[in-house]
Amino acid sequence: MSIARTELLPLPAHSATTREFAGVSTQSRALSFSVRRTVRPFIEAWSYAPTLPWPASVIDHLAFPLVPVPGTHRRRVDLPTCPAELLWAPGAAPPAQGCTDGAARGGMDGTAARGGMRGTAVLYLHGGAFLCCGLTTHRHLVSRISAATGAPVLAVGYRMLPRHPIRRAVEDGLDGLRWLVAHGYPVERVVIAGDSAGGFLTFAVAHEAVRLGIGRPAGTVALSPLTDLDPRGKLDHPNSHRCAVFPRRAVAVLSTLVERAERLGGEGAEPVASPVDLDLSEMPPALIQTGSEEMTYVDAELMARRLQLAGVSAELQVWEKQVHVFQAAAGVVPESGRAIAEMGRFVRELR
């Protein structure tokens, strides 16, 4: 049984709000120094031989030290084509009834579980350039988001490049959304969030949910999002020489890999448009966070502007000299914790 088409009410016209967060802590400078000398050289090496059998899946397995905040509960969820994980941190509202019985399965017909709570939930889509990372690498970040928002979070381990085109990741995100709806969370109470490539998917999944008649989510939160698959805007910006994480060469190489995967995607895998090129007029309110000198700053700024032009409320937060997805360093870098607190504020104000 499919989910009934939801009638959408018109959105009022809004303007994009830009807030700048000044100040760079010693911990933030140390983080930037570290990733510039470890992560960046690795990505540059990959960019010279991207078709080699790099052990991308190993990254998620090696991330086991990144444990969630103490007291966090988690349950495995089996979506139709990928794994997912439901987490709720101390202080967060417990999940709706039926979400926590062992390895939660099924419930994909869109019918809300009986007795399910009508609270807010977050659907999270991890970053990793559509190539790597997963539930383990982002478990700590997701648990902090749960604590800040006071909501359970369903993190989706979606299918990735090079075996699957981006369309499959969008489908997996939609399955995650349907699972939440089926387990007691109306779509209008679900906030979709993600970082980097997951930010791309955040907007793509929200747009598809509206297009397919599933409904309009409560809001979107994108951390250092990639929103434009065309590399030219990023490479033409001064930040392409400043970014602590991504070398210039890697940006163009990723675009080539995406194009190749789209061509080999198989039946039904129509190419996914960049979020900045979509009709955004029925999108929900958005919070976008970016570092002032990172590669995807231009994508974040462009997305906020496109949302504004479409009449959608969008808040763009620019954090001085913070690295790509700096929020993942919460607990170590003060700015990261403040950024996650801002996410919590945004989500709570949607209620």
Residues labelled as active-site residues: 196
In terms of Cα–Cα distance, which of 45, 34, 36 is closest to 241? 36
Q: At residue 312, what is the residue type? A: V
Dihedral in degrees, nearest 10, Cα atoms 205, 208, 209, 211: 160
- Residues 6 or more apart whose CB falls under 8 angstroms from that of 58 comprise none
The answer to whether the beta carbons of residues 162 and 131 sit under 8 Å apart is: yes
Angle at alpha carbon of residue 53, lines to 50 and 54, rounded to 5°: 70
Cα separation, 196 vs 207, whole angstroms = 17
Return the percent helix, strand and coil in the chain, to nearest 5: 40, 15, 45
Quickly count: other Cβ atoms within 10 Å of residue 96's Cβ.
21
Cα–Cα dist 288/220, whole Å: 8
If you search the block for the tokens 């210039």, which residue do you land on?
248
| Radius of gyration of the chain measured on its C-alpha atoms | 19
Residue 300 exposure: Cα atoms within 13 Å on the Cβ side: 34
Amino acid at 175: D
The one-letter amino acid code at 189 reads: R
Helices (H) and strands (E) in the chain, counts: 10, 9
